[in-house]
Amino acid sequence: MPKVISIHEYILKPNVNEEQFESAVLNAKESGTLRLPGLVDYYLVKGIRGHRKNLYAAIWIYESKEAWAKLWGPLDKPISKAEYPENWNKWENEILAPFLVQDPDEIKFTSYQELK
């Protein structure tokens, strides 16, 4: 079954200490905050070349479009922020929000479906 891969682009506030951001993100990963049903893998990355050099992103890999839609709602009717899983709200509100220039729910992202 084709996987769904979502790429979330993060832009830090100008005064943010990158080491503190990376530490907060890695602590969230280690604590299990990022565990979600249907999420089979994820990567928290920093650009090394290209137009996103030195900028951060997350790559989320879901087992299928069905699993992704069960978590986030169908393509034509995404769930509201109030309906997000509790740990995802913690990720956005407590971990990302202090570091990002915009509300974490308003970041640029693209979700892709794997070709099979």
State pLDDT tens for residues 93-105. Answer: 999 999 999 999 9
Q: Is the pLDDT of residue 116 over 90?
A: no
Global pTM value: 0.93
Which domains, ranges and CATH numbers included, belong to the chain?
4-113 (3.30.70.100)
- What pLDDT digit, counting tens, does each position of 4-59 carry? 999 999 999 999 999 999 999 999 999 999 999 999 999 999 999 999 999 999 99
Quote the DSSP letter at residue 104.
G
Number of H helices, E strands in the chain: 3, 4
Please provide the distance, in angstroms rounded to a whole number, between the alpha carbons at the two ends of the chain: 8
